[in-house]
Amino acid sequence: MSKRQRISAAVLFTLVLTTIPIILVAQSASEFIVKVPVADMHSTPSEDSDVVSQAILSNDVTVLEVDGDWAKVQTNDQYTGWMPLNAIIAQSGASAYSGSGAMAQVTSVFAHIYRETDVTKHQPLTTAPFESRLAVVDEMKDNARWLKVQLPDGAIGYVQRGDVTLKPHVLTIPESIELAKRFLGLPYTWGGRSSYGYDCSGFTQMLVRSRGIIMPRDADLQAAWSGVVPIKRDELKPGDLLFFGSSPDHITHTGMYIGNGEFIHATTHDHPVVQISRLDDQPWTRILVATRRVK
């Protein structure tokens, strides 16, 4: 088997993770699931390369190419990047995630998964970021506090009900703005697409996704996306998107308008966190180059 293997319609691969080295086996699907809390996606198959995006626990990814211990993957927003093979598992190896069983979706910024129904006896098995899905093994209806869940790698644990929902719903614009404020102070992270840290476009993409809409990953692609319409600055309403840069053809930053002349964004300006800024303040009013409304 050569070092570089390209997945085609004829030959697709399943990742088999054991205590021995990684093995690639011919299989009929290239669909995988992320099994770590946050998997960085790199520009090349090397940890020395820049992070271009992320996928989180339970995200579906499509493997496009394998190079040694790395896989080139595509996320559901059509973004591609390289991540370690040991960050993903074939859907056939995470059967609880490919069926029609109940799923719990993390609604807290983070959710600890424990080995037992006690937060004091042991450290968490793992910490799942916001939006992660957990396969429900037992709803434990006689226990109002806990759910028994299975992680993508098959590990069994317990999550507190207050951290998840069994019935996720599409948010309204006011609800998505309230959601955005829950992340105030979260560190800015280049390439970030998780509640461990967002970058500017990862943050707005998540907020629009909470409204049931999959938007492109990068700020310039978002501004040019067919799912938005241009509006004038004096037409801004809460939920509209703002794009900043040196020109409309060179967009480098984005945020979401929340009303009263304010917008929320993940930025490195002044202090690198999710924060609320005023559109009339500098440098924002000077470098605002496009305003968009999601259709």
Give the burial class of 234: count Cβ atoms within 10 A of its Cβ; 0-12 exposed, 13-18 middle, 19 or more buried: exposed
Report whether 185 contacts 274 (CB < 8 A).
yes
Pairwise pLDDT comparison (156 vs 24), residue with the higher score? 156
How far is residue 138's CA from residue 148's CA, in Å, rounded to a whole number?
5
- In this predicted structure, what is the pLDDT of residue 16? 36
Q: What is the pLDDT of residues 116-155, one digit of tens each?
A: 999 999 999 999 999 999 999 999 999 999 999 999 999 9
How far is residue 292's CA from residue 295's CA, in Å, rounded to a whole number?
9
Residue 67: is its pLDDT beyond 70? yes
pLDDT band for 65, please (50, 70, 90 cuts). Answer: very high
DSSP reduced 3-state for 124: coil
pLDDT band for 251, please (50, 70, 90 cuts). Answer: very high
Annotated catalytic residue 271:
no
DSSP reduced 3-state for 281: coil
- In this predicted structure, what is the pLDDT of residue 163? 98
Structure tokens at 258: 């929340």
Tell me the one-letter amino acid at 86. Answer: N
pLDDT band for 62, please (50, 70, 90 cuts). Answer: very high
Q: Which CATH number fits domain 4-93: 2.40.160.20, 3.50.50.60, 2.30.30.40, 3.40.190.10?
A: 2.30.30.40
CA angle, 79 then 243 then 191, to 5°: 35
How far is residue 19's CA from residue 17's CA, in Å, rounded to a whole number?
7
Instruction: Compute CA 81 distance to the chain's CA centroid, rounded to the nearest angstrom.
Output: 14
Residue 250: is its pLDDT beyond 60? yes
Give the fold, CATH level 3, of 173-294. endopeptidase fold (from Nostoc punctiforme) (3.90.1720)
pLDDT band for 293, please (50, 70, 90 cuts). Answer: very high
pLDDT band for 17, please (50, 70, 90 cuts). Answer: very low
Report whether 157 contacts 149 (CB < 8 A).
yes
Pairwise pLDDT comparison (19 vs 7), residue with the higher score? 7
Annotated catalytic residue 253:
yes
For residue 283, say if its preceding peptide bond is cis, omega within 30 degrees of 0: yes
Q: What is the pLDDT of residues 205-219, one digit of tens each?
A: 999 999 999 999 999
181-202 mean pLDDT: 98
pLDDT band for 24, please (50, 70, 90 cuts). Answer: very low
Query: What is the pLDDT of the chain when averaged over all its residues?
Result: 91
Pairwise pLDDT comparison (93 vs 16), residue with the higher score? 93
Q: Among residues 122, 265, 269, 271, which one is catalytic?
A: 265
82-94 mean pLDDT: 93
* C-alpha separations of 186 from 29, 209, 263, 283 in Å: 37, 19, 16, 22
Q: Among residues 122, 169, 200, 269, which one is catalytic?
A: 200
- In this predicted structure, what is the pLDDT of residue 8? 35
Residue 76: is its pLDDT beyond 80? yes
Structure tokens at 290: 């496009």
- In this predicted structure, what is the pLDDT of residue 100? 78
- In this predicted structure, what is the pLDDT of residue 20? 28
Residue 5: is its pLDDT beyond 50? no
* Residue 45: closest CA among 17, 66, 62, 76: 66
Q: Where are the alpha helices (DSSP H) in the chain?
A: 173-181, 200-209, 219-224, 284-287
Annotated catalytic residue 269:
no
Give the architecture (CATH level 2) of 96-165.
Roll (2.30)
Q: Among residues 250, 253, 269, 271, which one is catalytic?
A: 253
Report whether 237 contacts 257 (CB < 8 A).
yes
- In this predicted structure, what is the pLDDT of residue 170? 97
What percentage of the chain exceeds 70 in pLDDT?
A: 90
Instruction: List the chain domain ranges.
Output: 4-93, 96-165, 173-294
